[in-house]
């Protein structure tokens, strides 16, 4: 099996831009880290974080260049969200999700994309693809009602992508899709009371009989199979496979949280004694050295899995060759394993640092809560991903989930 961690034909200018964008994220790190406790305590990413990310171009990575976006690639989004995640898990989560939802919009018909960005090119998009609402067919479009949660980024969004079912004349759902609706026509209910990723404010969106024109509906089964509605088929980014990308974008914050935990261990261990032992420094103790090695290696493993999936996704988009079921199953498995390895790296660091890891003043407790929560997003579920991948290795396909 060939293992590639970046697109072989990535150009030097593309790599230079990626490096510059990651550097911009690193430059914002101190600002974002300084507000991480407030973000967690107040259960929302501060507006100044969002403004700084937007000013740096880090919320337009997946927006079409036609509207002023950077239209980059998934390796770039991973690296940027990893860097932001080193400073704050919640801010990294929104960086990933606001970009991912911009990519969703890039799959819609031209008129829908114009609705969002033609007059407001800096419009941001939140979303919940799970079909938690209904779209009743009416003249010219749909009347949409429902409740959608968790809607990460809704506090900072202008539009929302909403998963719906579309009943036929007898009321039986005949289609699953996603629609685009302006936030001004939706209500937000404060329902996000959780242990980790508190700052994402992933609250519940509520729509009541909202009219959505027909061009703002996109079939999810078509998207899963790579049949996108965008007429701009020469734009490589919007040929990327739907489900693998939806899973992969969630791993960037996990990579950053794992890296931050390892950094904290390496920073603190030389300056602390190992309680109830003769070691004057934790860094001198083999038990801490082994923990550091295991945690760092697991963080690396998470990154390698995620970067491999990103490389395959970006290469498929570049060539316009839609990956087959088995390849998509392996990409989803890669995303799940990245989340598991990153979470385990943080757990090892917490164990090495002992009970003090969970002190309220210790940033490690927030990292631990964030990764324990964020890594358990449904589309990252490693057991489901393993079942899909394992069956695919035996030639059994399509029996677990349509989301492959």
* pLDDT value for 102: 98
Contact 50, 199 (CB under 8 A): no
377 upstream amide cis, omega within 30 of 0? no
d(Cα 140, Cα 27) in Å, to the nearest integer?
Answer: 47
* Residue 171 clears pLDDT 90, i.e. is over it: no
* Residue 246 clears pLDDT 80, i.e. is over it: yes
* Residue 71 clears pLDDT 90, i.e. is over it: yes
Q: Helix 89-105 crosses helix 363-374 at what angle (to 10 degrees)?
A: 30
d(Cα 28, Cα 236) in Å, to the nearest integer?
Answer: 29
* pLDDT value for 2: 52
The arithmetic mean of pLDDT across residues 22-44, rounded, is 97
State what percent of residues in the chain have pLDDT above 70. 98
The arithmetic mean of pLDDT across residues 96-124, rounded, is 98
Provide the 10 A C-beta neighbour count for residue 125: 27
The arithmetic mean of pLDDT across residues 106-112, rounded, is 98
Q: Helix 251-268 crosses helix 74-85 at what angle (to 10 degrees)?
A: 40
Q: pLDDT tens, 112-148?
A: 999 999 999 999 999 999 999 999 999 999 999 999 9
Nearest Cα residue to 106 out of 151, 137, 139, 61: 61
Q: What band does 396 get if pLDDT is binned at 50, 70 and 90?
A: very high
Cβ-count burial 199-231 (b if 16+ within 10 Å, e if not) = bbbbbbbbbeebebeebbbbbbebbbebebbbe
Q: What band does 3 get if pLDDT is binned at 50, 70 and 90?
A: low
* Residue 11 clears pLDDT 90, i.e. is over it: no
Mean pLDDT computed over every residue of the chain: 95
* Residue 1 clears pLDDT 60, i.e. is over it: no
* Residue 82 clears pLDDT 90, i.e. is over it: yes
* Residue 43 clears pLDDT 60, i.e. is over it: yes
pTM comes to: 0.95
What's the token pair of residue 43? 């259960």
* pLDDT value for 12: 82
Q: What band does 111 get if pLDDT is binned at 50, 70 and 90?
A: very high
d(Cα 18, Cα 303) in Å, to the nearest integer?
Answer: 16
Q: Which helix (H) or strand (E) holds 141?
A: strand 141-148
- Domains of the chain plus CATH, in order, are 13-107 (1.10.540.10), 123-225 (2.40.110.10), 240-394 (1.20.140.10)
């Amino acid at each position: 099996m060939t293992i590639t961690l970046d697109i072989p034909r990535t150009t030097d200018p593309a790599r230079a831009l990626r490096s510059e964008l990651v550097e911009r994220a690193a430059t914002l790190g101190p600002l974002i880290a300084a507000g991480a406790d407030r973000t967690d305590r107040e259960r929302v990413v501060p507006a100044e974080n969002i403004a700084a990310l937007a000013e740096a171009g880090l919320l337009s990575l997946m927006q079409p260049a036609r509207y002023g976006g950077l239209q980059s690639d998934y390796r770039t989004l991973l690296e940027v969200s990893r860097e932001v995640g080193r400073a704050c898990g919640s801010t990294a989560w929104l960086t990933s999700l606001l970009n991912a939802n911009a990519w969703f919009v890039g799959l819609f018909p031209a008129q829908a994309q114009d609705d969002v960005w033609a007059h407001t090119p800096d419009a941001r998009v939140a979303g919940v693809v799970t079909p938690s609402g209904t779209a009743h067919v009416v003249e010219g479009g749909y009347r949409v009602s429902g409740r959608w949660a968790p809607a990460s980024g809704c506090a900072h969004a202008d539009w929302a992508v909403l998963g719906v079912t579309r009943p036929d004349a007898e009321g039986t759902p005949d289609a699953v899709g996603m629609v685009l609706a302006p936030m001004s026509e939706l209500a937000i209910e404060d329902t996000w009371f959780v242990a980790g990723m508190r700052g994402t404010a992933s609250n519940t969106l509520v729509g009541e009989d909202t009219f959505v024109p027909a061009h703002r509906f996109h079939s999810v089964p078509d998207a899963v199979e790579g049949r996108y509605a965008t007429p701009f088929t020469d734009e490589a980014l919007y040929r990327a496979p739907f489900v693998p990308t939806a899973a992969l974008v969630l791993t960037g914050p996990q990579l950053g949280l794992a890296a931050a935990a390892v950094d904290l261990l390496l920073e603190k261990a030389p300056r602390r004694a190992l309680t109830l032992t003769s070691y004057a420094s934790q860094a001198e103790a083999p038990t801490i050295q082994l923990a550091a090695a295991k945690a760092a290696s697991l963080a690396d493993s998470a990154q390698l899995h995620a970067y491999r999936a990103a490389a395959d996704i970006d290469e498929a988009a570049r060539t316009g060759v839609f990956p087959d079921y088995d390849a998509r199953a392996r990409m989803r498995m890669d995303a799940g394993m990245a989340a598991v390895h990153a979470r385990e790296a943080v757990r090892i660091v917490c164990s090495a640092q002992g009970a003090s890891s969970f002190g309220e003043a210790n940033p490690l407790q927030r990292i631990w809560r964030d990764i324990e929560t964020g890594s358990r997003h449904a589309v990252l579920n490693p057991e489901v991903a393993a079942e899909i991948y394992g069956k695919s290795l035996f030639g059994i396909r399509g029996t677990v989930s349509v989301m492959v």
